[in-house]
């Protein structure tokens, strides 16, 4: 392993090696995560509903997703006659690519971050905005009214929920005093470090709700509400295009839960097990919550969704932010 790395470093240089290794690791992470999540989601759905979920391929159906991927790859990609071809084909890529950048920003452990940026948190959310473009491009270019409705819903929903998402994260940033994800984790570990879930339970609640909405997951899955809009923004996508959108959805789930674990659950902090394992465990715990929510609740209506964001979540997160700031100031003055 080290020998291999050395050879690589010799030919590519330090920076090139980091890039290559990072890229391979990320690609692996994305695929494994998506495959696991699809299987996991099906299993949980099945168990919740008194079923068994996939059972046929591999023990407990673990190979099911792999075969599904093969099936999707083998499918014909149908491009409807009236779509805006270039945008239509580009859209899944635009929706998916930011995920790579976002993943590289996550702190998997104290000093295991692929790109350590000073304002990492802001950058993650900024890239999230780009992926929205992909969704909207797909919706608009599809030349389908269901897709268009889905796209419009997606945009207004994401804009509405970006605010509480950021505001709840800001409360944590105030506590940690840094936008750097690594430093936020560091603030929660160490001698008298305390996970921010203790200090910021309200922010965690807001974050989870907003994150579910940001990733268009049930009960906030109105952009693709299948009982209303057939499949929403990806109605016209088949085969690979659909698969990429699907992949993007699961990757974003991983990312928001990763950020959630970083902000509130102390990232890779934990006893006995190594940091990355703790990080992954925490992420999948949050993902499990998201999956459970999907299989428990009915879907909100569009206006109710907006009301929830603008009338409840944003004021609440503002109050939370102000209160945090005030308390911090008092503590600072007091000490």
Partner 1 sequence: MSTESATLKAYAAHPRTPEYAPLRFGTLTPALEQAPEDGTYYLNMGPQHPSMHGVLRLLLRLDGEKVVECEPVIGYSHRAHEKMAERGIFAQFLPNPSRMDYLGGMIYNVGYCQAVERAFSIEVPERAVVLRTLCCELNRISSHLLWFGTFLLDLGAFTPFLLAFQDREKILDILDSASGSRLTYCYANFGGLALDVPEDFAERTRQYIKEQRAAFHTYHELVTGNVIFRQRCEGVGIITQDTILSYGMTGPNARASGIAYDVRKAEPYGFYPEVEFDVPTRDEGDCLARYFVRFEEMEQSLRIVEQCLDRLPEGPVGPKKPLVRVKPKPGEYYHCVESPRGQFGMFIVADKDPEPWRIKARTPSFSNLSAMAEMLEGTMVADTIAILGSIDIVMPEIDR
Partner 2 sequence: MSQDSTNSAVPVPGRSVRPTGFGGAVRFMVRSMLTLFVGLKVTLKKLMGRKVTEQYPHEKPVMSGAFRSAIALVSFDDLNGTHDCIACDACELICPSYCITVRGDRLPDSKKKRATEFLVDFSTCSLCGLCLAVCPTETLKYSSGYDDAGYNRGWIHNLLEPYADDPEAPELLALLTARDEAKRAARKAARAAKEAPAAKPAPEAETTPANPAPEGSDG
The residue whose two tokens read 């579910």 is 212
User: 38 in helix, strand or coil?
Assistant: helix
Token pair listed for 321: 């932010």
Nearer to partner 1, 40 or 278 (CB): 40
303 binds, among partner 2, partner 1, none (CB under 5 to 8 A by kind): partner 1
User: 143 in helix, strand or coil?
Assistant: coil
Which residue among 51, 71, 75, 329 contacts partner 1 (CB under 8 A)? 51
Q: Which stretch binds partner 2 (CB under 8 A): 34-42, 48-56, 124-132, 260-268?
A: 48-56
Which residue among 7, 24, 32, 49 contacts partner 2 (CB under 8 A)? 49
Check binding of 149 to partner 1 (CB under 8 A): yes
Check binding of 187 to partner 1 (CB under 8 A): no
User: 299 in helix, strand or coil?
Assistant: coil
Give me the least distance between CB of 244 and partner 1, in Å please. Answer: 23
111 binds, among partner 2, partner 1, none (CB under 5 to 8 A by kind): none
**Smallest Cα–Cα separation from 97: which of 129, 140, 139, 122?**
129
Residue 67 contacts residue 57 (beta carbons within 8 Å): yes
312 binds, among partner 2, partner 1, none (CB under 5 to 8 A by kind): partner 2
Check binding of 23 to partner 2 (CB under 8 A): no
Buried b (16+ CB within 10 A) or exposed e, 19-43: eeeeeeebeebbeebbbbbbbbbbb
Other CB atoms within 10 Å distance of the CB of residue 178: 17
Nearer to partner 2, 55 or 87 (CB): 55
Q: Which stretch binds partner 1 (CB under 8 A): 42-50, 60-68, 125-133, 158-166?
A: 42-50
The enclosing H or E element of 55 equals none
293 binds, among partner 1, partner 2, none (CB under 5 to 8 A by kind): partner 2
Give me the least distance between CB of 65 and partner 1, in Å please. Answer: 19
Q: Write each residue from 278 to 307 as x if it is in contact with partner 2 (CB under 8 A), else as -, in one continuous string.
A: --------------xx-xxx----------
Burial of residue 243 (CB within 10 Å: 0-12, 13-18, 19+) is buried
DSSP states along 223-263? GG-HHHHTTGGGTT--HHHHHHHHHHHHHHHHHHHHHHHHH
Give me the least distance between CB of 292 and partner 2, in Å please. Answer: 6
Interface ranges with partner 1 (CB under 8 A): 45, 48-51, 145-146, 149, 218-219, 221-222, 225-230, 295-304
């Amino acid at each position: 392993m080290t020998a291999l790395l050395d050879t690589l470093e010799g030919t590519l240089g330090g920076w090139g090696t980091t890039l290559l290794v990072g890229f391979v690791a990320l690609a692996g992470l994305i695929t494994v995560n998506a495959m696991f999540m699809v299987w996991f989601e099906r299993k949980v759905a099945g168990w919740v509903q008194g079923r068994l979920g996939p059972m046929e391929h591999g023990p407990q159906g673990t190979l099911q997703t792999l075969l599904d991927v093969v099936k999707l790859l083998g499918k014909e990609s149908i491009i409807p006659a009236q779509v805006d071809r270039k945008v239509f084909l580009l859209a899944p890529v635009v929706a998916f690519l930011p995920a790579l950048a976002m993943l590289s920003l996550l702190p998997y452990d104290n000093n295991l971050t692929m790109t350590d940026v000073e304002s990492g948190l802001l950058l993650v959310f900024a890239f999230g905005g780009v992926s929205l473009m992909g969704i909207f491009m797909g919706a608009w270019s599809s030349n389908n009214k269901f897709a268009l409705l889905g796209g419009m819903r997606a945009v207004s929903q994401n804009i509405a929920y970006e605010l509480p998402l950021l505001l709840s994260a800001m409360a944590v940033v105030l506590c940690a005093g840094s936008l750097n994800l690594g430093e936020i984790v560091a603030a929660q570990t160490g001698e008298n470090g305390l996970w921010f879930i203790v200090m910021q339970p309200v922010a965690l609640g807001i974050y989870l709700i907003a994150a579910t909405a940001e990733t268009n997951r049930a009960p906030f899955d109105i952009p693709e509400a299948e009982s209303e809009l057939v499949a929403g923004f990806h109605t016209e996508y088949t085969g690979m295009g659909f698969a990429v959108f699907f992949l993007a959805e699961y990757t974003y789930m991983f990312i928001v839960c990763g950020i959630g674990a970083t902000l509130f659950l102390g990232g890779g902090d934990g006893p006995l097990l190594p940091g990355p394992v703790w990080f992954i465990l925490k992420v999948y715990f949050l993902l499990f919550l998201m999956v459970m929510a999907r299989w428990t609740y009915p879907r909100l209506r569009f206006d109710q969704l907006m009301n929830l964001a603008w009338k409840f979540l944003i004021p609440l997160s503002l109050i939370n932010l102000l209160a945090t700031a005030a308390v911090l100031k008092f503590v600072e003055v007091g000490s």
